[in-house]
Structure 1
Amino acid sequence: MVSKSKIQTIHQNTYPAISPTRPELSTKGKSALISGGASGIGAAITQSFAQSGITNLAILGRTEKSLLEKKTQVELISPATTVWIYVVDVANAKATLSAVQSFAASINGKIDILIANAGYMSSLNSVSDSDPEDWWLGFETTVRGNFNLLQAFHGFASQQATVIHISSSAIHLPYMEGYSSYRSSKLAAYKLFEYYHEENPSFTVVHIHPGLISGTAMTEKFGPSVEKFGLVYDDVTLSGDFTVWAASEEAQFLNGRLVWATWDANELKTMKDEIKADKARFTMGFFT
């Protein structure tokens, strides 16, 4: 999906600069926790971190079967990676805290990387026609769930931890019928992570729009909109690999920024000084 930023080079597939097998992007010796990491975009992110050689990996999700399958896949990709899985709904604060505590205790240390990926898209009805329980579930997962996750993570975060928030380009877009729950909850989540960034200056917090991805639970709902507007899907491997790059030292200059996985990493690096000098660049207030 093409963005309207000033980035000249846009990708729909992964490319060498963000390959998780690059030595510069190695996560060997580090620990990471990924919410919603067993399906869809989260599964691709999990796979990319496995390819980067992550030492300790915790995967949170709501379905034991998908978690077990992803654990097996990670262990095949990276036999040196130790994988923990937790059947957790992040909207449940006690269960989320228990999972994070268990992972931290298991690795006898701190968590270096948090990938906050869990989200929910309610049925695409008007505000007046929406089922209230389904509509609010978007906020329960995307806002309350991420709040719970950040609170649980905070006590076990390494001193210079990296937090990646999987956001959405939808928060920039004008009205589109049926998306009131999804877009408003995603916008609220962005602000939540914006505050967490400002409150924790030793951490790196990056928001990522992962691209327009097919084959996910959400695709079944927004697929007709993609066809209606003639949009093109991006490859999910791009989402995973870009996230690994965004969590690396190379991308620390993006701290506090919202970037698209489709944007060229090399081009972003050439803008490093410009971005660091302009505190509003690539934030919700100023996108270009």
Structure 2
Amino acid sequence: MSVSAVPSRDDPLFEEMFRPVTKTYRSQTYAAIDPTLPKLSNRGKTAVVAGAGSGIGAACALSLAKSGVAAIALLARTESALNQTKSSIEALGLGTKLFVYAVDIAGTAAVLNQALADFAAAAGKDKEGKVDILVASAGIMPDIVSIQDAEADEWWRGFEVNVRGRFNLLRAFAPVVADGGVVVHITTAALHMAYMPGFSCYRASNSAATKMFEYFGNEHPGLRVVQVHPGLIRSPMSLKFAAGAEGLPWTDVELSGDFVNWATSSEAAFLKDRFVHVNWDVEELLQRKADVEKDPFLFTVTLKGWA
């Protein structure tokens, strides 16, 4: 991949991608989103984390556990990876009940439906078999090549996972979600940027998924759907473009996890149906609460006006 596929600090795209709407750009976790804060507690709630085998999903599961979530369903394709996340959470000694489901969200929908139904029945007894939180972090980045040079099945696999898989996940979650539940979709700021060579499938599939979650939020007005850009994370996925991203502000994955937990809290309720970045400072975001509540288009992926 050409190093120009990710903007350098001298590229106008750099400001577009990393300029925060808050004065402070966060790359590491900080006190205001500490999941152990009483005001951010999820004590007694239940959660499903898809993509929990590593990276952002695992960090989200850890943070939710620290916030007091009583039971978490850990979903990913590889059981060994899920067991590593399970062990990390168990090491916290918080007594979180953990359920491991090795499932491909883009596979047979009935398998995913049964997994979430089983979790709700086992962990949601005190909540009448309902689940409070869904973190949709599972996704893939196909090879970074032009449309013409792409291997067709690999390119469409991006849509199978990032769109069909998340579609399956939403349909499996809808019957078990509790009133007032929260859905956090891990997406990417890249979808609203100018052209970046080679990212056609990643950005197109995430654009489709982001609009799909937007629809889900409108179809279930009693729920809170928040779409989150997790920052630029060092992960197996980022290895595909890391050579062209040196010098850019990488994000500590712990920040992603703690921000997602904050997004599930009552403090972040004003972000219902909004698109936010983990790098934005939450205390400054809270200062803009009135602006968000007044402007239905603020922090959304919407065409506003014509050039």
Give the Cα–Cα distance (whole angstroms) in 1 for the partners of residues 134 and 159 of structure 2.
Answer: 20
Task: Tell me the residue number matched to 2:106.
Answer: 91
Task: Tell me the residue number matched to 2:194.
Answer: 174
Task: Tell me the residue number matched to 2:182.
Answer: 162
Q: Which segment drifts farther, 48-57 or 241-250?
A: 48-57
TM-score by length of 1: 0.96
Task: Tell me the residue number matched to 2:75.
Answer: 60
Q: In structure 1, which of residues 224, 228, 234 is the aligned counterpart of residue 243 of structure 2?
A: 224
Give the Cα–Cα distance (whole angstroms) in 1 for the partners of residues 296 and 162 of structure 2.
Answer: 26
Q: In structure 2, which of residues 122, 130, 136 is the aligned counterpart of residue 106 of structure 1?
A: 122
Task: Tell me the residue number matched to 2:34.
Answer: 19
1:129 aligns with 2:144: no
Count of residues paired in the alignment: 284
Q: In structure 1, which of residues 151, 160, 168 is the aligned counterpart of residue 171 of structure 2?
A: 151
Give the Cα–Cα distance (whole angstroms) in 1 for the partners of residues 55 and 21 of structure 2.
Answer: 29
2:65–2:94 Cα contact (<8 Å) kept: no
Q: Which amino acid aligns with 2:271?
A: L
Give the Cα–Cα distance (whole angstroms) in 1 for the partners of residues 295 and 249 of structure 2.
Answer: 31
Structure 1, unaligned stretches of length 5 or more? Answer: none
1:42 aligns with 2:53: no
Give the Cα–Cα distance (whole angstroms) in 2 for the partners of residues 77 and 141 of structure 1.
Answer: 31
Once the two structures are TM-superposed, the CA of residue 79 in structure 1 deviates from its matched residue by 3.1
1:102-124 Cα shifts (integer Å, max 9, x gaps): 10111222000000111110001
Task: Tell me the residue number matched to 2:5.
Answer: none
Give the Cα–Cα distance (whole angstroms) in 1 for the partners of residues 40 and 283 of structure 2.
Answer: 14
Q: Secondary structure at the match of 1:77?
A: coil
Give the Cα–Cα distance (whole angstroms) in 1 for the partners of residues 94 and 282 of structure 2.
Answer: 29
Give the Cα–Cα distance (whole angstroms) in 2 for the partners of residues 220 and 45 of structure 1.
Answer: 21
Specify whether residues 78 and 31 from structure 1 end up closer, same or farther in structure 2 by C-alpha distance, changes over 3 A only.
Answer: farther
Identity %: 44
Task: Tell me the residue number matched to 1:243.
Answer: 260
Give the Cα–Cα distance (whole angstroms) in 2 for the partners of residues 148 and 63 of structure 1.
Answer: 18
Give the Cα–Cα distance (whole angstroms) in 1 for the partners of residues 292 and 18 of structure 2.
Answer: 18
Task: Tell me the residue number matched to 1:267.
Answer: 284
1:34-92 Cα shifts (integer Å, max 9, x gaps): 00012011111111111112101000011111111111111121432100010000002
TM-score by length of 2: 0.90
2:42–2:67 Cα contact (<8 Å) kept: yes
Q: Secondary structure at the match of 2:91?
A: helix
1:147-200 Cα shifts (integer Å, max 9, x gaps): 000000000000111000001011111111110000000000000000001111
State the 4+ residue runs in structure 1 displaced beyond 2 angstroms.
Answer: 1-6
Give the Cα–Cα distance (whole angstroms) in 1 for the partners of residues 61 and 240 of structure 2.
Answer: 24
Give the Cα–Cα distance (whole angstroms) in 2 for the partners of residues 58 and 76 of structure 1.
Answer: 17
2:21–2:280 Cα contact (<8 Å) kept: no
Q: In structure 2, which of residues 221, 224, 229 is the aligned counterpart of residue 201 of structure 1?
A: 221
1:177-233 Cα shifts (integer Å, max 9, x gaps): 11000000000000000000111111000000001001x121111212313xx3121
Give the Cα–Cα distance (whole angstroms) in 2 for the partners of residues 6 and 111 of structure 1.
Answer: 32
The CA RMSD measured in Å over matched residues stands at 1.3
1:116–1:165 Cα contact (<8 Å) kept: yes
Structure 2, unaligned stretches of length 5 or more? Answer: 1-13
1:258-280 Cα shifts (integer Å, max 9, x gaps): 00000000011111111011000
1:143–1:185 Cα contact (<8 Å) kept: yes
Q: Which amino acid aligns with 2:51?
A: G
Give the Cα–Cα distance (whole angstroms) in 1 for the partners of residues 303 and 27 of structure 2.
Answer: 24
